[in-house]
Amino acid sequence: MGREMPGDTARLSFRHADEGDASFMLRLLNEPSWRRFITDHSVDSEEAARAYLQERILPGYRSGLGFCLLESSQDGSPLGICGLIKRDYLEHIDLGFALLEQYWGQGYAAEAARATIDYAFGELALDELWAVTVPANANSIRLLERLGFQYLHNTRDPKDEAVAVYALSRNAAG
């Protein structure tokens, strides 16, 4: 049987999150960039963060999907999350990532995304992978384009917010 999550990279360790990560998730979910570019989940306590983990993160692991916690290989500190999710309103599984703002611009998101793409096309044998972002998130768009994703179209998410849909095929990922 194959791996159940992306393999570790030179600087990052991937692991399934658990309820003990509530403090970190509280911090991540309240980053200004998360609230601006992803959504405001109104998670304002560790108890609410634990509920978020139970409802939104942990269930994905049963199907080989879900967001893994990213930790520094050097000191084990949590940096962000990266993983795969099947959203009801999208045709294909989608790549998602978010890092604490203090770790932006250091290549961690690209490193985590590449490992997750390898997992998607290798272990899960997907033919195509999608990613969504709000059109105003220029940093994510640039990263997706560097990773080889191509813009497909705009759509509306379940909250009726505009999102840009990007796609990467296994053949293009090469």
The CATH number of the domain holding residue 150 is 3.40.630.30
Indicate whether 5 belongs to any domain.
no
**Which tens digits make up the pLDDT trace of 37-90?**
676 567 889 999 999 999 989 998 988 899 999 999 999 999 999 999 999 999
Which candidate, 135, 15, 74, places its Cα nearest to that of 144?
Answer: 135
**What pLDDT shows up at residue 33?**
79
Question: Rounded mean pLDDT of 18-22?
Answer: 95
Question: Which pTM was predicted?
Answer: 0.92
Domain enclosing residue 59, as ranges: 12-173
Indicate whether 6 belongs to any domain.
no
2: pLDDT strictly greater than 60:
no
Question: Rounded mean pLDDT of 8-15?
Answer: 95
Number of domains within the chain: 1
